[in-house]
Amino acid sequence: MNADNLQKKLTFKNKVISQVEKFNRKHKAFSYLGLAYAVIAITCYNFLFYFYRNTKRFTALACIILFFAASSSFSYPAMSLNISFASNNTLDDTTYVEDVVISEAEVAESSAELAAPDGVDEEVLQEASEVVNPDAAEVENMVSFNDILAADDTETVISEEESVPLGNSSEHAFSSDDWKIILVNKQHPIPDDYSFNLGTISGSMQCDERVISPLKEMLKAARADGIGLIVCSPYRDIDRQTMLFSNKVNRYMGGGMSYMDAYNLASQAVTVPGSSEHQIGLAVDIITADYTSLDEGFGDTAAGKWLAQNSCKYGFILRYPQGKEEITSIEYEPWHFRYVGIDAATVITQNNICLEEFWNMYVE
């Protein structure tokens, strides 16, 4: 403390004491009030003087706290699982034919329905929950499944090592290095060194080339059983996934939600960029011409039931099953199927578990 500051402190203290002494001489019966005033005044002055003297130090500390508070808002917030998902998502009104594949039909995942908190515009929030899908139902890119098969030079068949369902899961060891069972979710983002070759399903639609053959076999088998399946939203690159996610966050924020609340809600409707199975070309969304909504009702359709029972025969699993929401952090999505290979798919389906549980129980 320099001489000027010390002098100011002493001057204030002496002034208070002098005032109290005068007050006590005139009002001896209330001298205790004067003493109380002196103690409070001097204590408050010393407290404020301390902060004044250390202004630079406290300013630096405040800047550090603000920096960490701001940077933490961009991290993945904790999931809140007590949110129900609505069934508002539908494709654009378009006439479909059986066994059609839609190019990049970004019907996206289901939208979330949340009671609007105080200060949030309910109308804007409702609008934010609806799918904004500029690429949905591109008529010029619709190709029948027959045309896809006709374009192939060789017939698609599943390799022999994956043609027989697993009898006893304990007899087979699953390696964490197997590309088919790679675990991708919010807690396990796509590894930086992960690579794969894209193959063309039809037109501009692509996925991991190793998945195309079993996918076509599944479509053929479904058609033979009278089920016409439509594949939409296969591979998405990081830019596409980021745009879908950012649009959802921005629209919720436009309804008056904070960034953290909007991020939390959006992450349960659109997968966080870098943790989407669509980005590694192993996931597809499946609907039918008769049921084009991406909602829980698809699971009750003939197509939804057929897929739940038979997709494992071709190496696919229902990725986000009902009753596993607390494990997957994603609501029930009966339209979202993921390729894991026949061996793993059989184990997962027969034991009624999700991929996360499979990893904990069977992967070495």
> What number is the average pLDDT over the span 315-323?
96
Average pLDDT, the chain: 75
Look at residue 19 in the predicted model and tell me its pLDDT: 81
Q: Which of 333, 356, 357, 364 is catalytic?
A: 333
Average pLDDT, integer, range 70-90: 41
Tell which residue, 194, 201, 259, 264, has the closest CA to residue 234.
201
pLDDT of 111 > 50? The answer is no
| Higher pLDDT pick, 73 / 27 | 27
CB 320 within 8 A of CB 330: yes
Phi-psi region at 61: left, alpha or beta (left = phi > 0; alpha = psi -120 to 50): alpha
- Choose from 115-129, 199-213, 265-279, 347-361 the range with maximum mean pLDDT: 347-361
From CA 125, how far away is CA 349, in angstroms rounded? 37
Q: What mean pLDDT comes out for the span 254-280?
A: 87
Amino acid at position 195, single letter? S
pLDDT of residue 199: 93
What is each CA distance from 276 to 237, 243, 245, 282, in whole angstroms? 10, 13, 11, 10
Q: How large is the average pLDDT for residues 101-105?
A: 43
Task: Write out pLDDT tens, residues 118-133.
Answer: 454 555 444 444 443 3
Confidence (pLDDT) at 297: 93
pLDDT digits (tens, 9 = 90+) for 201-230: 887 889 999 999 999 999 999 999 999 998
> Rounded mean pLDDT of 135-151?
41
The yes-or-no answer on residue 331 being catalytic is: no
- Residue 204: the pLDDT is 81
Question: Could you give the CA distance from residue 120 to residue 287 in angstroms, rounded to a whole number?
Answer: 34
pLDDT exceeds cutoff 60 at 67: yes
Q: How high is the pLDDT of residue 71?
A: 59
Q: Is residue 63 very low, low, confident or very high in pLDDT (cuts 50, 70, 90)?
A: confident
pLDDT for the residue 4? 60
Specify the pLDDT at position 34: 76
Q: Identify the residue whose tokens are 């698809």.
A: 298
Q: What is the pLDDT of residues 326-338, one digit of tens each?
A: 999 888 999 999 9
21-25, 138-142, 352-356: which is most confident: 352-356
| pLDDT value, residue 128 | 45
d(CA 215, CA 91) in angstroms, rounded, equals 22
Helices and strands (H and E) in the chain: how many: 12, 8
| Banded model confidence at residue 5, pLDDT cuts 50, 70, 90 | low
Residue 135, pLDDT above cutoff 60: no
Average pLDDT over residues 22-27: 79
What's the pLDDT score for residue 2? 59
pLDDT at 70 over 90: no
DSSP string across 229-276: EEEE-----HHHHHHHHHHHHHHHHHTT--HHHHHHHHTTTSPPTTS-
pLDDT tens for each residue of 283-294: 999 999 899 888
Average pLDDT on 230-244 reads: 88
pLDDT at 107 over 70: no
